[in-house]
Amino acid sequence: MRKMLNTLYVTNSNAYLHKDGMNVVVSIDNIEQLRVPIINLEEIVTFGYMGVSPGLMQLCSQNNVSISFLSPSGRFLSRVQGPTKGNVILRKKQYELSEDSNFSLEISRIFIAGKINNYRNIIKRAIRDNGPNDELSKASLSLSRSKQNALQASDSNELRGIEGDAANHYFSIFSHLIRQQTSDFVFNGRSKRPPKDEVNVLLSFAYTLLANDVASALETVGLDPYVGFFHTIRPGRYSLALDMMEELRSYLGDRFVLSLINRKQLTNKHFIIQGEDSLLLNDDGRKILISAWQERKKDEITHPILNEKIPIGLLPFAQAMLLARYIRDDIDCYPVFLI
């Protein structure tokens, strides 16, 4: 199994990144703040606008280290990656299958059914931990039906409708999963652009980090993260990464956000108002979230298909590897990750 290297997160919007020999140097107002050897990194994620020197871009390209640019609010802007080193035959097969409507529908059913199943398992765990709850039980039953409907969807439009209904049911009871700080973290439904409450800010931020990790994993195994099967191709969008994210959202994203709130690692003091109707994590909040994200990635699980212990941070890589095997016809079915 591949070794998990470090991701360097630069949260200060005034930071400028450059190189010194084989080191990545982070400076603020021309004063060096941090120095990291390039061999210790697999990715750099920066939340600022000051930029990165051409010399560092070349160093990262030569060492297969990607650089992702996010806005201070966590919105994805762009990604710089060196020359593609993936298997051209694998990518050619991926492109061919993306044009095959039958294959695309089949794999999309698996992605979405896995997502819905994991939604349901989050709810079942809440019932197990906190006792019976009629609204949670009804949502669990509804999601069970949605999963079966997803596996039987006749076309992509029907599948999108099923996925949308399932997400609405899930997020309609999401507030019941918040057990602490309930008056400060009020959730009345999913809002994205812009996120209009603290919970939505955290969900969007976590999903952005996850999308970046999944895209990197797909690149590593030789797949093109921009060419998907369920999410249509759109310039600049990680369509395949968004596809594979579906099965991982609740496990790596939602549970993480709930733990930050329920363990009181983040409070309402970590948010600032932006504009008239949106919020933003402040600098301290971003640092806490990113630190917790990195620590979470070190936790180990036994992968149900590979049957070996891996850090949670390598779960996107493990699933990308299995997806590549499926596309190459090395295995008969893509084994979606289930909680």
pLDDT, one tens digit per residue, over 178-234 is 999 888 899 888 888 788 889 999 999 999 999 989 998 898 788 999 999 999 887
The CATH number of the domain where 34 resides is what? 3.100.10.20
The reply to whether 120 and 50 lie within a common domain is no
Q: What is the chain's length?
A: 339
Percent of the chain exceeding pLDDT 90 equals: 52
Domain edge (last residue) among 34, 55, 80: 80
Q: Which domain holds residue 286?
A: 88-327
Give the CATH number of the domain where residue 280 resides: 1.20.120.920
- Pair 32, 97 in one domain: no
Question: Is this prediction's pTM over 0.85?
Answer: no
The gap from C-alpha 195 to its chain's centroid, in whole angstroms, comes to: 17
Burial (CB count <10 Å: 0-12, 13-18, 19+), residue 119: buried
Specify whether 107 is located in the same domain as 178.
yes
**What are the tokens at 237?**
């969008």
Q: How many domains does the chain have?
A: 2
Evaluate whether residue 337 is within a structural domain: no
Which pLDDT value is given to residue 250?
93
| Cβ pair 51, 65 in contact under 8 A | no
15 and 162 assigned to the same domain: no
CA distance 166 to 337: 18
Q: For residue 110, is it within any domain? A: yes
| DSSP structure class, residue 270 | G
Same domain, 172 and 275: yes
Name the domain boundary from 51, 80, 109.
80
Check pLDDT > 60 for residue 4: no
Q: Which two tokens stand for residue 137?
A: 């039980």
Residues 236-253: what's their mean pLDDT? Answer: 92
54-76 pLDDT, tens digit per residue, is: 999 899 888 888 888 877 766 67
* Per-residue pLDDT tens over the stretch 89-141: 899 999 999 999 999 999 999 999 999 999 999 999 999 988 888 999 999 99
Measure the CA–CA gap between 32 and 17, rounded to whole angstroms: 10
Q: In this structure, are 183 and 114 located in the same domain?
A: yes
Residue 336: inside a domain? no
- Please, are residues 263 and 178 in contact by the beta-carbon 8 Å criterion? no
Q: At 8, which helix (H) or strand (E)? A: strand 6-10
Indicate if 75 and 93 belong to the same structural domain.
no
Q: Are residues 198 and 136 in the same domain?
A: yes
Does a structural domain hold residue 39?
yes
Q: Please answer whether residues 71 and 305 qualify as being in contact, where contact means their C-beta atoms are separated by less than 8 angstroms.
A: no
Q: 158-176 pLDDT, tens per residue?
A: 999 999 999 999 999 999 9
Residues 244 and 267 sit within 8 Å (Cβ to Cβ): no
φ and ψ at 329, to 5 degrees? 70, 25
- On whether both 302 and 174 belong to a single domain, the answer is yes
**300 shares a domain with 167:** yes
